[in-house]
Structure 1
Amino acid sequence: MNKSDLVAAIAEKAEMSKKDAEKFVKAFEEVITEELTSGGKVQLVGFGTFDVAERAAREGRNPKTNEPMPIPASKAPRFKAGKALKDAINK
């Protein structure tokens, strides 16, 4: 499912126009991004939690030359599924 499929599905489920559903999806993305950028997390009870994982600096290897190379520290967005979502998938 891509973004336009998601917008269409939300519009149908919520009985709203595709334009309003698209505004909702865009706003949802923006709110999640802003909260994660500021170091927070978004918890949707039963669905899951969006947060940021810290990755430490480490040494990797160049696959072509097999020489060691530094990999800098970084942050990565992460999603942890909630119990209700896991249960729904495993039925």
Structure 2
Amino acid sequence: MTAVVLRGSPGTPRWPDPRATWQRSSRSGPFAGAGCLAPRASARRSGPSPAPRAPVGTSRLRAESHGTANAYERKHMNKAELVSAIAKRADVPASTVDSVLAGLQEELVDAITRGEKVAVSGLITVERTQRSARTGRNPQTGESIDIPAANTVKVTAGSNLKKAASSVPV
């Protein structure tokens, strides 16, 4: 048996599925006869064709250039891009902005270590909170385990950030 692939124009009902592999049939029935072609059993499909797959190593959520995001893209800004954007907006050298951000980071770490709450009005609030001890469960074995108390960091968006997030369409 020789396998033949028939390709038709997509969307026209009289042409076979372009992904189907066909073989010469010697059985009886609608595909009887030496010159007739029948769909190969492994190539028969039922239902809608599968959705196209993304190439390996890519994701539907991509980090690309900044701008308007659609449903398939998610934008990320790293520290270098943030420093560049602030320097351009404030018309100061990028090294100055980088120094300010480094100082902000050091001060936030020191304040959290001391147990203080840092609030930048309208922008962000950062504070240390305590998580009490609790009993958890190992998901693989089902065994109960004791999880000790821990300190965590709570970050709350300020009113300006909340307003900016709510103004973007979903």
TM-score, shorter chain, exceeding 0.5: yes
Give 1:38's match in structure 2, choosing from 114, 127, 144: 114
Extract structure 1 runs of 4+ deviating beyond 4 A.
none
| Aligned-partner SS, 1:90 | helix
Deviation at 1:78, TM superposition (A): 1.0
1:8 and 2:79 are equivalent in the alignment: no
1:50 and 2:126 are equivalent in the alignment: yes
Deviation at 1:47, TM superposition (A): 1.2
Deviation at 1:42, TM superposition (A): 0.6
1:86 and 2:86 are equivalent in the alignment: no
| Aligned-partner SS, 2:100 | helix
Deviation at 1:26, TM superposition (A): 0.7
**Corresponding residue of 1:75:** 151
| Aligned-partner SS, 1:16 | coil
Deviation at 1:73, TM superposition (A): 0.6
The structure that is helix-richer by fraction is: 1
Deviation at 1:77, TM superposition (A): 0.8
Deviation at 1:36, TM superposition (A): 1.0
Task: Give the Cα separation in 2 of the matches to 1:10 and 1:27.
Answer: 15
Task: Give the Cα separation in 1 of the matches to 2:139 and 2:83.
Answer: 40
Bigger Rg, structure 1 or 2 = 2
Please tell me the residue identity of whatever aligns with 1:20: T
Indicate the percent of aligned positions where both proteins have the same amino acid.
Answer: 36
Query: Alignment length, in residue pairs?
Result: 91
RMSD: 1.2
* Unaligned runs of at least 5 residues, structure 2: 1-76
Structure ranking higher on relative contact order (CA contacts 8 Å, 6+ apart):
1
**Corresponding residue of 1:21:** 97
